[in-house]
Amino acid sequence: MSVFREISEPQRKAVKFLQDELSDGARKEVRELQTKARTNGIYPRTLTSARKILRVAVFRDGQCGKFYWEMSDEVIK
């Protein structure tokens, strides 16, 4: 399955970024991902679009209120 259907170049860059960052299957804090993405020229809204394209799972830590993203199993395979 190719995730690169008709999407913009910035979205392609963001999709590749998320694939690289989340390929190990670990949950990563959203703020850390956003900061790292921004240093790579990827805006938060574009990163969110890429998350939706890849169907990245979103989790919230109820105690500290932080949000985490994790690549779904079907995308890793």
The predicted model scores a pTM of 0.82
CATH 2.60.120.10 given to domain 9-76: no
Any idea which residue has 């991902």 for tokens?
Answer: 33
Q: Where are the beta strands (DSSP E) in 1-77?
A: 28-29, 57-60, 67-70
For 62, residues 6+ apart whose C-beta sits below 8 A from its C-beta are none
Is the Cβ–Cβ distance between 53 and 3 less than 8 Å?
yes
Asked if pLDDT for residue 36 goes beyond 50, the answer is yes
| Confidence at residue 25, expressed as pLDDT on a 0 to 100 scale | 85
Q: How far apart are CA 33 and CA 59, in angstroms?
A: 14
| Confidence at residue 5, expressed as pLDDT on a 0 to 100 scale | 62
For residue range 45-54, what is the model confidence (pLDDT) as tens digits?
999 999 999 9
User: Domain residues of the chain, as ranges?
Assistant: 9-76
